[in-house]
Amino acid sequence: MLWKPHHLIRKRTSFDFLGKRKIALLLSTVINLAALVGVFVFGLNFGIDFEGGIALQVRAKQGEVHLDDLRSTLGNLGVGEVSLQAFGDNRTALIRVQRQEGDARCVAHADNVMKRRAGQGWSVKQGPSDTGDVVFGAPGGLDAAGWREAVSQVGLTIQERQLPRANTNTARIDMSVEQRAEWCQQVAIKLVEDTISGQYELRGTEAVGPKVGEELMHSGIWAVVATLGAIAVYVWVRFEWQFGVGALIALLHDVLSTVGIFVLFRLDFSLTALAALLTIAGYSINDTVVIFDRVRENMRRYKKMGLIELLNFSINETLARTIMTAGTVFVAVLALVLFGGPVLYSFSIAMLWGVIVGTYSSIWIASAALVYMKLRPEQLRPKDEDEAAKAKA
Amino acid sequence: MLNLPRWQVIAIVVVTALAGLFALPNALPGSLLNHLPGWYTQSRINLGLDLRGGAYFLLEADLRGVLNERLANLSDSVRGELRKQQIGFKDVTVQSGAAVTVVLREEAERAKAIEAMRTIDPSLAVSGQGDTLRLAFSEQELLRKKKEVIDQSIEILRRRVDETGTIEPTIVRQGDERIELQVPGIKDTTDLKRKLNQTAKLTFHLVNEDVAQTGQNLPTNLPPTTFLVPTREGMQALRASNPKAYEDIQSANPRLTPEQVCRRYQPQCLPVFKRVVVGGEDLDDAKSTFESQQGGRPIISFTFNTAGGRAFCNATRQNIGKRLAIQLDGEIISAPVVQSAICGGSGIITGQFTTQQTQEQALLLRSGALPATLTIIEERTVGADLGADAIHAGTVAALVGTALVILFMLFVYGPIFGGFASIAMMVNMLLVFAGMSLLGASLTLPGIAGLVLTVGMSVDSNVLIYERVREERENGRSPFSALATGYDRALTAVIDSNLTALIAGVLLFGMGSGPIKGFATSLTLGLLTHLFTATVFTRMLLAVWVRWRRPTELPV
Strand partners, A136: A124, A171
Residues of chain B positioned with their CB less than 8 A from the CB of A390: 488-489, 491-492
Closest partner residue to B196 (CB to CB) among A157, A204, A327 is: A157
**What is the distance between the alpha carbons of residues B303 and B287, in angstroms, rounded to a whole number?**
9
The CATH number of B201-355, from 2.130.10, 3.30.43, 3.30.1360, 1.10.3470, is 3.30.1360
Closest partner residue to A289 (CB to CB) among B1, B411, B493 is: B493
Closest partner residue to A223 (CB to CB) among B398, B408, B511 is: B511
For residue A258, pLDDT over 90 is answered with: yes
In angstroms, the separation between the Cα of residue A228 and the nearest Cα of chain B is 8
Cβ–Cβ gap A219/B474 under 8 Å: no
Q: Burial-class residue B463 by CB neighbours within 10 Å (0-12, 13-18, 19+).
A: buried
Q: Which residues contact B84 (CB under 8 A, 6 or more apart)?
A: none
Residues of chain B positioned with their CB less than 8 A from the CB of A212: 58, 377-378
Most A CBs within 10 Å, among B52, B507, B521, B531, to test the A interface = B507
Please give the helix or strand (H or E) that residue B239 lies within, else none: helix B232-241
- Interface residue B72 vs chain A (CB under 8 A): no
A204: nearest CA partner in chain B: B382
Which architecture characterizes domain A48-99+192-207 according to CATH?
2-Layer Sandwich (3.30)
Question: In this structure, are residues A220 and A186 in contact, taking their beta carbons and an 8 Å threshold?
Answer: no
User: What is the rounded average pLDDT of the residues A253-259?
Assistant: 96
For residue A124, pLDDT over 80 is answered with: yes
**What is the distance between the alpha carbons of residues B55 and B49, in angstroms, rounded to a whole number?**
7
Reported confidence tier of residue A96, pLDDT bands at 50, 70, 90? very high
Cβ–Cβ gap A325/B457 under 8 Å: yes
- Interface residue B248 vs chain A (CB under 8 A): no
Cβ–Cβ gap B370/A212 under 8 Å: no
Q: What is the predicted pLDDT for the residue at A1?
A: 65
- Interface residue B413 vs chain A (CB under 8 A): yes
Strand partners, B285: B303
**What is the distance between the alpha carbons of residues B426 and B16, in angstroms, rounded to a whole number?**
11
Closest partner residue to B413 (CB to CB) among A5, A161, A347 is: A5
**What is the distance between the alpha carbons of residues B459 and A109, in angstroms, rounded to a whole number?**
55
Q: What is the per-residue burial (b if ≥16 Cβ within 10 Å, else e) of A7-35?
A: eeeeeeeeeebbeebeebeeebeebbeeb
Q: What is the per-residue burial (b if ≥16 Cβ within 10 Å, else e) of B327-336?
A: bbbbbbbbbb
Q: Do domains B6-51+385-549 and B201-355 have the same CATH topology?
A: no
Question: In this structure, are residues A249 and A321 in contact, taking their beta carbons and an 8 Å threshold?
Answer: no
Closest partner residue to A2 (CB to CB) among B382, B402, B411 is: B411
Residue A206, helix vs strand vs coil:
strand
Provide the percentage of residues in chain A whose pLDDT is more than 90: 54
B491: nearest CA partner in chain A: A390
Strand partners, A54: A97, A207
CATH superfamily of B6-51+385-549: Multidrug efflux transporter AcrB transmembrane domain (1.20.1640.10)
**What is the distance between the alpha carbons of residues B551 and B548, in angstroms, rounded to a whole number?**
9
Q: What is the per-residue burial (b if ≥16 Cβ within 10 Å, else e) of B191-219?
A: ebbbbbbbbbebbbbbbbeebbeeeeeeb
**What is the distance between the alpha carbons of residues B72 and B220, in angstroms, rounded to a whole number?**
49
Q: Which residues contact A285 (CB under 8 A, 6 or more apart)?
A: A231, A235, A247, A250, A251, B497, B500, B501, B504
- Interface residue B504 vs chain A (CB under 8 A): yes
Cβ–Cβ gap A347/B376 under 8 Å: no
**What is the distance between the alpha carbons of residues A299 and B409, in angstroms, rounded to a whole number?**
31
Please give the helix or strand (H or E) that residue B549 lies within, else none: helix B538-549
Residue A63 is classified by DSSP as: S
Q: What is the tens place of the pLDDT at every residue in A179-195?
A: 999 999 999 999 999 99
Q: Please choose, from the candidates A10, A1, A348, A335, the residue with its C-alpha nearest in 3D space to the C-alpha of residue B407.
A: A1
How does strand A45-46 pair with strand A268-269?
parallel
- Interface residue B18 vs chain A (CB under 8 A): no
Q: Cα B348 to chain center, whole Å?
A: 30
- Interface residue B62 vs chain A (CB under 8 A): yes
Closest partner residue to A207 (CB to CB) among B378, B449, B503 is: B378
Interface contacts (A, B; CB < 8 Å): 299
Cβ–Cβ gap A332/B415 under 8 Å: no
Residues of chain B positioned with their CB less than 8 A from the CB of A91: none
Q: What is the predicted pLDDT for the residue at B93?
A: 87
Cβ–Cβ gap A159/B376 under 8 Å: no
Longest dimension (CA), chain A: 95
Domain B67-142 in CATH 3.30.1240.20? The answer is yes
**What is the distance between the alpha carbons of residues B550 and B556, in angstroms, rounded to a whole number?**
15
Closest partner residue to A5 (CB to CB) among B368, B412, B523 is: B412
Closest partner residue to A393 (CB to CB) among B1, B377, B519 is: B1
Closest partner residue to A332 (CB to CB) among B404, B499, B514 is: B404
Closest partner residue to A2 (CB to CB) among B59, B402, B415 is: B415
Q: What is the predicted pLDDT for the residue at A55?
A: 94
In angstroms, the separation between the Cα of residue B133 and the nearest Cα of chain A is 29
Residue B539, helix vs strand vs coil:
helix
Q: Give the Cβ contact number of residue B5 at 10 Å.
A: 8
Please give the helix or strand (H or E) that residue B381 lies within, else none: strand B374-382
Residues of chain A positioned with their CB less than 8 A from the CB of B505: 278, 282
Distances in Å between the alpha carbon of A362 and those of A41, A105, A236? 29, 53, 16
Most B CBs within 10 Å, among A89, A143, A285, A286, to test the B interface = A286
Q: What is the tens place of the pLDDT at every residue in B83-139?
A: 888 888 888 888 888 889 999 888 888 888 888 888 877 888 888 888 888 999 888
Q: What is the CATH number of domain A18-45+210-392?
A: 1.20.1640.10
Question: In this structure, are residues B323 and B206 in contact, taking their beta carbons and an 8 Å threshold?
Answer: yes
In angstroms, the separation between the Cα of residue B382 and the nearest Cα of chain A is 4
Question: In this structure, are residues A111 and A151 in contact, taking their beta carbons and an 8 Å threshold?
Answer: no
Cβ–Cβ gap B376/A320 under 8 Å: no
Cβ–Cβ gap A2/B407 under 8 Å: yes
Closest partner residue to A235 (CB to CB) among B411, B500, B504 is: B500
Most A CBs within 10 Å, among B159, B375, B396, B410, to test the A interface = B375
**What is the distance between the alpha carbons of residues B344 and B541, in angstroms, rounded to a whole number?**
79
- Interface residue B286 vs chain A (CB under 8 A): no
How does strand B89-95 pair with strand B99-104?
antiparallel
Cβ within 8 Å of A, B 290-329? none
Most A CBs within 10 Å, among B161, B174, B190, B197, to test the A interface = B197
Residues of chain B positioned with their CB less than 8 A from the CB of A219: 511
Residues of chain B positioned with their CB less than 8 A from the CB of A159: 369-370, 372-374
Helix residue ranges per DSSP H, B326-444: 355-366, 384-413, 419-439
B153: nearest CA partner in chain A: A159
Cβ–Cβ gap A149/B377 under 8 Å: no
Closest partner residue to B378 (CB to CB) among A144, A151, A212 is: A212
**What is the distance between the alpha carbons of residues A355 and A336, in angstroms, rounded to a whole number?**
13
For residue A393, pLDDT over 50 is answered with: no
- The backbone region for B295, taken as left when phi is positive above 0, alpha when psi lies in -120 to 50, beta otherwise, is left
User: What is the rounded average pLDDT of the residues A341-346?
Assistant: 88
For residue A201, pLDDT over 50 is answered with: yes
Q: In tens digits, what is the pLDDT along chain B, a chain of 556 residues?
A: 667 788 888 888 999 999 988 888 888 777 777 787 777 777 778 888 888 889 999 999 988 888 887 888 788 788 888 888 888 888 888 888 888 999 988 888 888 888 888 887 788 888 888 888 899 988 888 888 888 889 888 888 887 787 656 677 889 898 888 999 998 887 778 778 877 776 667 788 999 888 888 777 778 778 888 889 998 888 888 888 888 888 788 767 666 788 888 888 888 999 998 888 887 767 777 878 888 776 778 888 888 877 788 888 888 888 888 899 988 778 888 888 888 888 877 888 777 778 887 877 777 777 667 778 888 999 999 988 888 889 999 999 999 999 999 999 999 999 999 999 999 999 999 999 999 988 888 888 888 988 998 898 889 889 999 999 998 888 888 888 898 888 888 888 888 888 888 888 888 887 766 667 888 888 899 988 988 888 889 888 888 888 888 888 888 7
Q: Which residues contact B379 (CB under 8 A, 6 or more apart)?
A: A185, A186, A205, A206, A207, B55, B56, B57, B58, B189
For residue A389, pLDDT over 50 is answered with: no
Distances in Å between the alpha carbon of B187 and those of A97, B156, B539? 20, 22, 50
Angle, CA B14 vertex, CA B10 and CA B19 arms, to 5°:
150
Q: Please choose, from the candidates B533, B546, B537, B540, the residue with its C-alpha nearest in 3D space to the C-alpha of residue B483.
A: B546
More confident residue, A274 or B370: A274
Please give the helix or strand (H or E) that residue A296 lies within, else none: helix A271-301
A291: nearest CA partner in chain B: B493
3-state secondary structure B274-335: CCCCEEHHHEEEEEEEECCCCCCCEEEEEEECHHHHHHHHHHHHHCCCCEEEEEECCEEEEC
**What is the distance between the alpha carbons of residues B216 and B91, in angstroms, rounded to a whole number?**
57
Q: Give the Cβ contact number of residue B250 at 10 Å.
A: 15
Cβ–Cβ gap A8/B412 under 8 Å: yes
**What is the distance between the alpha carbons of residues A247 and B344, in angstroms, rounded to a whole number?**
70
Per DSSP, the residues of A113-154 read HHHHHH-TT-EEEE--TTS--EEEEEEEEE-HHHHHHHHHTT
Residues of chain B positioned with their CB less than 8 A from the CB of A275: 446, 508, 512, 516, 519-520
Most B CBs within 10 Å, among A113, A278, A333, A356, to test the B interface = A278
R_g of chain B computed on alpha carbons? 33
Q: What is the per-residue burial (b if ≥16 Cβ within 10 Å, else e) of A114-138?
A: beeebeeebebbbbeeeebbbebeb
Distances in Å between the alpha carbon of A147 and those of A151, A170, A173, B198? 6, 9, 10, 10
Q: What is the predicted pLDDT for the residue at A383?
A: 67
Q: Please choose, from the candidates B195, B196, B276, B274, the residue with its C-alpha nearest in 3D space to the C-alpha of residue B229.
A: B274
In angstroms, the separation between the Cα of residue B56 and the nearest Cα of chain A is 9
